[in-house]
Amino acid sequence: MSDSIRIAIAGLGTVGAGVVKILAERGDVLALAAGRAIEIMAVSARDAGKDRGIDISGFRFEKDARALGVAADVDVVVELIGGADGIAFDLVESALLNGKHVVTANKALIARHGAHLAQIAEDKNVALNFEAGVAGGIPIVKALREGLVANEISNVTGILNGTCNYILTEMEETGRDFEDVLVDAQDLGYAEADPSFDVGGIDAAHKLAILTSLAFGTKVDFAQVEIEGIEKINATDIYHAAEFGYRIKLLGIAEIVDGGILQSVQPTLVPFERPLAAVPGVYNAVAVTGNYVGDVILEGRGAGQGPTASAVVSDIVDVARGFVFPPFIIPTAKLREAKAPAKNSLKSAYYLRLYAVDRAGSMAEITRALALASVSIERIVQSGERMEAGSGRLPVVFMTHETDEATMREAMTLLAEHADVAGEPVMMRIDNSATH
């Protein structure tokens, strides 16, 4: 067996503590699998004394994580601090520049600075692994980098945020509204005190940007992701979607559309019978369509100590085994720009929900407005049952024929200003195109 591989762990939160725990519990087997022992040399955290349920007395403690990036006795820096910039960025960049391998769970960092950091990793011939950054314990980065490498990919679609999926699942099962369920999710630790990062779709968008790069050979480009969260979805939407045979999921979709790459995170109506519709609670899932392999779907826990630490450790073992190659599969210099397609080119049917002012003739006016906006309606449901008592607002749901997003956006603007529409209307794409 070779010399041990020497690692340093920056950040001892839930995931960092999980990594220490796994290496303690499974060190012997992992050494056999890796061909060498994995040895923790140093750790860094804000508070040395905090009880994390792990023993860190055998490791050097660095108050400043940046020290790990230049430590002479460290081969691999494991970055679990988080944040796209600041210490996390400084540490990863310096570690790579100093010829150290980096393993990170930091999706924001890779989504924002992935191409820059990958170039340094390649120049220094070291690994930059981020399996834990995308969909927790699901080995989707490895699947794209290695297992499906033969394929030209045309579509990646994922449920990439467990908080959102938990909230949507709960809303469906209990019939309650978003705000209500969110409070519960916060109590259970499934949502942060400031939930905007998750429910606003940012977290899913970070992951999608990374998947896009791996799938399509493009420079990771977070700015190209169209992002919409789940905050506007209410119990009426969940109810009507189900009546029509759909479940609402926050989907991240990257696909080739007219030669451009569409990257979007948005609540979407998925037919019940599709695998992605069945993904419950905090689970994540990613479906990949390749030209040879067809559809491949990976599902599992997208967050939490165990799954995320499992992914971090697998990345460390890969480094110990000597696996080093470009982080985004092909050399960074060969990655293309992730050019977005013309918006008009994406055709889809849409779900549209609004509240009509409860007076004679309002429905006629609203449908006339939609016709003028060139939106062709397949079904209308105006359901008195779901009217909020005494609100004077009547929920109305439309399913449109296939149209393009620009047409829908224009119609939404018209409707929002319409005298017979109360409040802001909501539109969602209906996913009828794919088999997953």
Q: How far is the CB of 255 from a second copy (least distance, A)?
A: 18
The residue type found at 91 is: L
Among residues 41, 167, 309, 356, the one that binds a second copy under rule CB under 8 A: 309
Structure tokens at 327: 């982080």
Residues 217-236 that bind a second copy (CB under 8 A): 217
Query: Virtual CA dihedral for 33, 35, 38, 39, nearest 10 degrees?
Result: 150
CA atoms of 391 and 403, how far apart (whole Å): 32
Q: How far is the CB of 288 from a second copy (least distance, A)?
A: 9
Residue 400 main-chain phi, psi, to 5 deg:
-90, 160
Q: Does 188 bind a second copy (CB under 8 A)?
A: no
Among residues 86, 245, 322, 392, the one that binds a second copy under rule CB under 8 A: 322
Which candidate in 207, 334, 343, 347 is catalytic?
207
For residue 292, the tally of other CB atoms under 10 A from its CB is 8
Q: In terms of CB distance, is 201 or 290 closer to a second copy?
A: 290
Q: How far is the CB of 33 from a second copy (least distance, A)?
A: 5
In 175-274, where does DSSP find H-type helix? 178-187, 196-199, 202-216, 235-243
| Structure letter (DSSP) for residue 224 | G
Structure tokens at 145: 């980098």
The 6-35 site mask, x for binding a second copy (CB under 8 A), equals: ------------x---x---x--xx-xx-x
The 273-292 site mask, x for binding a second copy (CB under 8 A), equals: --x--x-----------xxx
Q: How far is the CB of 83 from a second copy (least distance, A)?
A: 25
Among residues 300, 327, 395, 425, the one that binds a second copy under rule CB under 8 A: 300
The 141-170 site mask, x for binding a second copy (CB under 8 A), equals: -xx--xxxxxxx------------------
Residue 348 main-chain phi, psi, to 5 deg:
-165, 155
Residue 9: enclosing H or E segment and its boundaries? strand 5-10
Q: Is 207 considered catalytic here?
A: yes
CB 397 within 8 A of CB 352: yes
Closest CA to 7 of 46, 49, 40: 40
Q: In terms of CB distance, is 201 or 300 closer to a second copy?
A: 300
With both helix axes pointing from N to C terminus, report the angle between 362-372 and 405-416 in degrees, rounded to the nearest 10: 140
Residues near a second copy (CB under 8 A): 18, 22, 26, 29-30, 32-33, 35, 131, 137-139, 142-143, 146-152, 217, 275, 278, 290-301, 306-307, 309-311, 313-314, 317-318, 321-323, 325-326, 329-331, 334
Which residues does the annotation mark as catalytic? 207
